[in-house]
Amino acid sequence: MKIEKIISIIFMSALIFGFACFFGLMFNIINPNSILLIPKKEIKKVETIKKPVPETKKPETKILPPVKETKPPVVEAKIPVTREVTLVEDNKIDLVQAKKYFYSGRTIFVDARPEYAYVERHIKGAVSLSASRFNLQFEMLKDKLKKDDLYVIYCSSPTCHLSDMVADNLNANGFKNVKVFTGGWDEWNSAGYPIDGLKVKKGTVPGE
């Protein structure tokens, strides 16, 4: 192949790519399911949730009070970032707290992992709201979920952030009582607490 031909192929590829991108952006304007190019709303949500926390109600802030007191005066230029971090930290719970909530019987556990993982194994009584198919699954479960209940979201491990995404989505839909179980499925399973699913042998000790 001649160099000129190769260059023309690459040039045409770039042209097709550019045209398709432009067409996509134009289509997004008329698409009924269009999305915002710049996600502005997320920052606003964080700010509105953050404000009442230090002033009025303390039960939510008991977990990490020193963090909130020290951070605002230190970093003033990066307000949205620090607020986002503290908000997430407020919602985090560990295995002991998760267990307490589980046995209280008034908490709904939400599995943020992909559906196939949920079907195989999950925390007993949990519902599936996977991060990637949240909208579809939420539509189906919307009527059954009450906004006043406490929701504990879990993912596979502490490094998995799908639970944060699902928690944000639930917050955006008006569910304010949402906690994130950081240890997630791995911690719960290795602790031997109740689990369920297709691959869980019935009548045996949970936790594999």
Q: Which residues bind another protein (CB under 8 A)?
A: 5, 8-10, 12-13, 15-17, 19-21, 23-25, 27-28, 31, 33-39, 113-117, 130-136, 156-157, 159-162, 165
CB of residue 74 to another protein, shortest distance in Å: 24
CB of residue 164 to another protein, shortest distance in Å: 11
Query: Which is nearer to another protein, 20 or 75 (by Cβ)?
Result: 20
Residue with tokens 């134009």: 26
Q: Which residues pair with 152 in a beta bridge?
A: 109, 179
- DSSP result, 21-88: HHHHHHHHHH-TT---SS--HHHHHHHHHHTHHHHT--GGGSS-HHHHHHHHHH--TTHHHHHHHHHH
Distance from C-alpha of 117 to C-alpha of 185, rounded to nearest angstrom: 10
Query: Which is nearer to another protein, 12 or 64 (by Cβ)?
Result: 12
CB of residue 204 to another protein, shortest distance in Å: 25
Query: Which is nearer to another protein, 96 or 136 (by Cβ)?
Result: 136
Contacts of 90 (CB under 8 A, 6+ apart): 53, 60, 61, 63, 64
Q: Under the phi-then-psi rule, with left for phi > 0, alpha for psi from -120 to 50, and beta for the rest, what region is 203? A: left
CB of residue 47 to another protein, shortest distance in Å: 17
CB of residue 136 to another protein, shortest distance in Å: 7
Contacts of 170 (CB under 8 A, 6+ apart): 110, 129, 151, 153, 178
Query: Which is nearer to another protein, 37 or 205 (by Cβ)?
Result: 37
Query: Which is nearer to another protein, 70 or 135 (by Cβ)?
Result: 135
CB of residue 114 to another protein, shortest distance in Å: 5
Query: Which is nearer to another protein, 25 or 64 (by Cβ)?
Result: 25
